Amino acid sequence: MYQMKCKSEAIERSCRRLSCVHPEVCENLNADHGPLLDLMSRVRREPGVKKVFLASGVRYDLAEKSPAFIEALARHHTGGQLSVAPEHSKKEVLDKMKKPGIESYERFARQFSCASEEAGKNQYLVPYFISGHPGSTLEDMVDLALWLKKSDMRPRQVQEFIPTPMSMAACMYYTGVDPLTRQPVQTVKDPADKRLQKALLFYWDPAHHDEVREALVKAGRRDLIGSGPRCLVPPASGKGSLPIHMRRMAGAPVPKRPGPARSGPPKGARRPS
- Give the tens place of pLDDT for each residue, 95-126: 999 999 999 999 999 999 999 999 999 999 99
Q: What is the pLDDT along the chain (273 residues), one digit of tens a residue?
A: 789 999 999 999 999 998 999 999 999 999 999 999 999 999 999 999 999 999 898 999 999 999 999 999 999 999 999 999 999 999 999 999 999 999 999 999 999 999 999 999 999 999 999 999 999 999 999 999 999 999 999 998 899 999 999 999 999 999 999 999 999 999 999 999 999 999 999 999 999 999 999 999 999 999 999 999 999 999 998 887 877 646 555 556 655 555 555 555 555 555 554
Q: Which amino acid is at 92?
A: E
Alpha-carbon span 178 to 159, nearest angstrom? 22
SS (H, E, C) 70-115: HHHHHHHCCCCEEEEEEECCCHHHHHHHCCCCHHHHHHHHHHHHHH
pLDDT at 152: 95
pLDDT at 110: 97
**CATH annotation of 15-203:** 3.30.750.200
Alpha-carbon span 26 to 31, nearest angstrom? 9
Contacts of 99 (CB under 8 A, 6+ apart): 22, 85, 86, 87, 88
pLDDT at 237: 87
pLDDT at 122: 95
pTM summary value: 0.86
Q: Comparing C-alpha atoms, which of 99, 194, 176 is closest to residue 134?
A: 176
Q: What is the pLDDT of residues 155-180, one digit of tens each?
A: 988 999 999 999 999 999 999 999 99
Range list for CATH 3.30.750.200 in the chain = 15-203
Q: Are 21 and 49 in contact (CB under 8 A)?
A: no
pLDDT at 248: 58
* DSSP run (H or E) holding 158: strand 158-160
DSSP letters of 175-213? Answer: HSB-TTT--B------HHHHHHHHHHTTTT-GGGHHHHH
pLDDT at 234: 94
